[in-house]
């Protein structure tokens, strides 16, 4: 099957979107593109990623807090369990690795949860940036701590704006 890709300019740098004709398999930031190798079987197809591009653009504009995309990340059953739990963290909120481990029913697996979090191939859409250290520090993010800080500040700004509308 021919794999497809698209490039999207964003406030945190150019994003490389990968997938097939049905699902998104990866969102790669410039700092971790070495994990993705383009071969002759990859074909640029911006139209195949029209929904992904539109929803990410809306997210960066502060107009979207959840995503409705067909996703097909490759990972172990444990990684998928962690990634599913990441999707339950509300927009504009953060939790610790320990709390995420508790939420998946494995309270002593914070370190393993951190590794699975770091292997997430769909950052932003599967919001691994919302997981922080137990002391509130910003720890590990494949896209770099500055991007993590930007994403959290972005969500805090827009989630507050949404709350203020109803105050």
- Rounded Cα distance between 156 and 117, Å, is 21
- Rounded Cα distance between 149 and 166, Å, is 26
pTM of the model: 0.88
HSE, side-chain direction, 13 A CA sphere, residue 126: 27
CATH T-level topology, domain 3-60: Double Stranded RNA Binding Domain (3.30.160)
Share of the chain above pLDDT 70, in %: 88
Residue 1: the pLDDT is 60
Active-site entry in 128, 131, 151, 152 = 128
Domain ranges within the chain, ordered by starting residue = 3-60, 77-165
User: Which tokens go with 136?
Assistant: 């509130």
Instruction: Give the confidence band of 41 by pLDDT, cuts at 50, 70, 90.
Output: confident
Segment 29-39 mean pLDDT: 58
Is-catalytic flag, 87? no
Residue 3 has pLDDT above 90, yes or no: no
Q: Judge contact between 131 and 95, C-beta under 8 A.
A: yes
The label of the residue with tokens 């859409």 reads: 125
Instruction: Give the confidence band of 43 by pLDDT, cuts at 50, 70, 90.
Output: confident
Residue 151: the pLDDT is 94
The alpha carbon of residue 17 and the mean position of all alpha carbons in its chain are separated, in whole angstroms, by 12
85-123 pLDDT per residue, tens: 999 999 999 999 999 999 999 999 999 999 999 999 999
DSSP character string of the chain: --EEEEEE--TTS-EEEEE-SS-EEEEEEGGGGGG----TTEEE-GGGGHHHHHHHHHHHTT--SS----B-----HHHHHHHHHHTTSPTT--EEHHHHHHHTT-TT-HHHHHHHHHT-SSTTTS-GGGEE-TTS-----TT-HHHHHHHHHHHHHHHHHHHHHT-
The architecture CATH gives domain 77-165: Orthogonal Bundle (1.10)
Share of the chain above pLDDT 90, in %: 68
Q: Judge contact between 107 and 71, C-beta under 8 A.
A: no
């Amino acid at each position: 099957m021919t794999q497809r890709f698209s490039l999207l300019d964003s406030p945190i740098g150019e994003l490389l979107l990968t997938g097939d004709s049905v699902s998104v398999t990866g969102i790669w930031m410039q700092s971790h593109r070495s994990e993705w190798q383009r071969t002759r079987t990859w074909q640029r197809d911006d139209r195949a990623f029209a929904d992904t591009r539109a929803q990410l653009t809306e997210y960066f504009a502060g107009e979207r807090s959840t995503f409705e995309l067909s996703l097909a990340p490759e990972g172990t059953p444990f990684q998928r369990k962690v990634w599913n739990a990441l999707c339950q963290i509300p927009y504009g909120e953060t939790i610790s690795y320990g709390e995420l481990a508790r939420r998946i029913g494995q309270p002593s697996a914070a370190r393993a949860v951190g590794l699975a979090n770091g292997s997430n191939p769909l950052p932003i859409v599967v919001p691994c940036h919302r997981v922080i250290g137990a002391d509130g520090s910003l720890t590990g993010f494949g896209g770099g701590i500055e991007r993590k800080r930007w994403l959290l500040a972005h969500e805090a700004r827009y989630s507050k704006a949404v709350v203020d509308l109803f105050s």
